[in-house]
């Protein structure tokens, strides 16, 4: 696959933003704007342990590596995987300084709970594609850990999820190459977005700036 119009390598984590809201993705990854809210703070707290790149644990037939740099030259995506678990397997690969063969599996950490939509699954699928390219193998499963449920959920890496991951990635490259920031479209999920004050999605409802400002003042 060749993405026309850009040779840039984009942030892998952006695919989750892009699938959730293209405007949010553009504000962060094209316009370089960002604000914290309680949800982003909780996310940082959850990731504190996984963000230590020097933590490697081995327990029996499993090696856990944290904050692992990954890249796909095919997708032109790069990033840092929260956790990669290497399990001893005849279908695995050799690891430097380790005996036997080890099969990698990405584990993405999220602060909330499983979503109806597949935004998070697209992100961990992209991570798996990076690992497949880096280790020259094919993976069939990834996992997502949700802090609210304190449980892991399996993500089968089927053809449908892979195809959508490739499609979203291609769209991201196209938007980035053209420098497109889509117009705001208000929905209830906007109120939980950390960029809501920068985005001002309620202006897209057609009320006009005067009405919006009056409503904002009355809400205080």
Q: How does pLDDT run across 144-198, given as a tens digit for each residue?
A: 999 999 999 999 999 999 999 999 999 999 999 999 888 877 777 676 676 767 6
Residue 156 falls inside a structural domain: yes
Say whether both 126 and 45 belong to one domain: yes
Range name among 85-99, 129-143, 175-189 with the lowest pLDDT average:
175-189
Mean pLDDT score across all residues of the chain:
82
Do residues 131 and 22 share a domain?
yes
* Residue showing tokens 């004050």: 197
Q: Are strands 77-93 and 10-11 parallel, antiparallel or unpaired?
A: parallel
Same domain? 14 vs 111: yes
Note whether 135 and 202 are same-domain residues.
no
Q: How many residues does the chain have?
A: 220
| Domain count across the chain | 2
Which pLDDT belongs to residue 82?
A: 92
CA 47 – CA 54 distance, rounded (Å): 14
Domain of 113 in residue numbering reads as 10-182
Q: 150-180 in b/e burial notation, b at 16+ Cβ within 10 A?
A: eeebebebeeebeebbbebbbbbbebbeeee
- CA 97 – CA 93 distance, rounded (Å): 12
Instruction: Indicate the pLDDT class of residue 201, thresholds 50, 70 and 90.
Output: low
Would you state the pLDDT for residue 26?
A: 87
Of 71, 73, 139, the residue nearest 107 (C-alpha): 139
In the predicted structure, residue 88 carries a pLDDT above the cut 90: yes
Asked whether residue 43 falls in the same domain as residue 138, the answer is: yes
Find the range with the poorest average confidence among 57-61, 90-94, 104-108, 117-121.
57-61
Cα–Cα distances in angstroms (integers) from residue 99 to residues 53, 66, 94, 102, in the given order? 22, 20, 8, 9
Assess if residue 1 is contained within a domain: no
């Amino acid at each position: 696959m060749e993405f026309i119009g850009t040779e840039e390598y984009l942030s892998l984590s952006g695919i989750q933003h892009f699938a959730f809201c293209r405007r949010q993705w553009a504000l962060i990854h094209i316009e370089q704007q960002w604000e914290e809210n309680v949800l982003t703070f909780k996310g940082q707290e959850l990731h504190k342990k996984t963000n230590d790149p020097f933590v490697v644990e081995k327990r029996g037939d499993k090696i856990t590596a944290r904050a692992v740099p990954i890249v796909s030259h095919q997708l032109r995506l790069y990033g840092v995987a929260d956790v990669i678990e290497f399990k001893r397997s005849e279908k695995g690969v050799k690891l430097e300084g380790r005996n036997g063969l080890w099969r990698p599996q990405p584990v993405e950490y999220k602060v909330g709970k499983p979503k109806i939509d597949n935004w998070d699954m697209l992100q961990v699928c992209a991570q798996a594609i990076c690992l497949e390219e880096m280790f020259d193998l094919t993976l069939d499963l990834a996992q997502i850990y949700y802090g609210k449920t304190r449980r892991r959920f399996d993500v089968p890496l089927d053809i449908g999820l892979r195809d959508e991951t490739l499609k979203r990635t291609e769209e991201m490259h196209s938007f980035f190459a053209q420098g497109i920031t889509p117009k705001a479209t208000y929905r209830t999920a906007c109120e939980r977005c950390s960029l809501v004050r920068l985005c001002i999605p309620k202006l897209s409802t057609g009320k006009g700036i005067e009405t919006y400002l009056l409503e904002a003042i009355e809400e205080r």
